Chains A and B, each alone.
Chain A
Amino acid sequence: MTDNTSAGPLTRCWRALWKPGTRYATGTLLIGGFIAGIIFWGGFNTAMEMTNKEKFCIGCHEMRDFVYKEYQDSVHYNNRTGVRATCPDCHVPKAWIHKVVRKIQASNEVLHKVLGSIATEEKFEAKRLELAKNVWRTMKETNSRECRNCHDYQSMDYMEQATRSSRSHQSGFDQGLTCIDCHKGIAHSLPKGFEDGKL
């Protein structure tokens, strides 16, 4: 056996972790661990939910002054039935594992917030196409998963849709298209040159 007294405090803690407990009862450790687990897990999810609110998103002027303003003109903000889709409804996956992956990717956004990459309207407009393409690509890869959290094409009643929508939806789904293939720029302004069909 190694001599504990000659080892450093960290080494001693590490070794104690892997020996059977002698000071505390197993029950204390179990119940204590259970409660600590609830607090840790609950805290983790609460913190994650906090970053999943519109108020958090528009806490930065980049979001509040540019994209949020455009979104306020859209049907997802203001509509007949009063059902709203806020930022995270479209931009953060609902499923836990995808959500955590997205949250980790968001560290890149924190970096660019610090760098001020889109801090002014000019800088943002210069990057709009690139940023839009990122979202379009992701949506395409996930078969518009975030759209389909609410819009399920199997539940669509084509008889109730306008002529134009009904026709386009049916032919679109027949071709295997996904929501974002047609519905670009529904919540935010389109990048310059989009209507020329070159993007």
Chain B
Amino acid sequence: MIGKMAPGTAFVVYTLLLLWTLIVLFPLYWVLITSFKTAQDVNNGPFFIPWVDFAPSLHAWKELFVFDYEDTLRSYTNSIIIALLSTIGCICVGSMAAYALARISYRPKFGNIFLFVLAMIGGCVVVWKFGVDWKISIAVALACWFFLLKSIGRFFTKSVGNGDILFWMISQRILPPIVTVVPIYMMFQNLRLLDTHLALILTYMVVNLPIVIWLMYDFMNSIPIELEESAQLDGASRFRTFWEIVLPLARPGLAATTLLVLILAWNEYILAVFLSTSKAQTIPILVAAMNAGERGILWWSMCVVIIIMIIPVVFMAIFLQRFISKGVLLGAVKG
């Protein structure tokens, strides 16, 4: 294959590729050298090369890691905890649902779903109009629904299939976070969970769940069913089949999905702004916090934070890139 191109074409191709490499790397280079600049270096015009144009100084790094290390460390550990736990939770819940949708046939009745919605609306109306405690109201509504399900549920005939459930779950991704974040904020405020790790973990889980289900559904479908069937003939339960056969086979897909979700959770900003103020503050908030104050933007400190944010993700991506490049995302996109 190599060397098939005409020399002229090859020149153009390599030039364009190198040009784009430059476009990708230059902003990163600029962020890197800015983190070693002093305020004077930033304000007195552009300096490009350390030791030639300007004397690099470690003052911003020192400030963040020596004087303010508590703040930095707390945001960093918060980010790590929240990103990791939400990713793990999301992958568990999502791959289970994806496996179930790929292998088990669900036929929930239209009427039952309608009854559920009706019961919930009834519960909300009772809370609103009569001031009943919401826990009691929800419990009663659920009990009513369950009772109706057992009594008249079998008269319904129309039902939805797996495809509809899958579509319903994936379509949640269309929802802009701004639509749901205010009620979520109030919900966590009611539960006294605002500014805690749990609030952010749960929210990130739900936001990223559609992606996991969508990507993993395709993976589960591509695993040959014969293995599972023989395992089931040998008497393995569904859970054991899932844990010991399906998950190991889906490993490349799991790796790519994990990376994607981890990056999304690690970089998330707008939900973190709403749901965390100080204790659960994540790293993106710390970046934005470098802007506040009468001294203007502390570019040098901000660049340090951006760099320590990028480094773990880049290492992980290089580590996992062979999974991604093998067309893992492609399968799902092909539909």
Is chain B a partner of chain A in the same complex?
Answer: no
**Residue ranges of B at the interface with A (Cβ–Cβ < 8 Å):** none
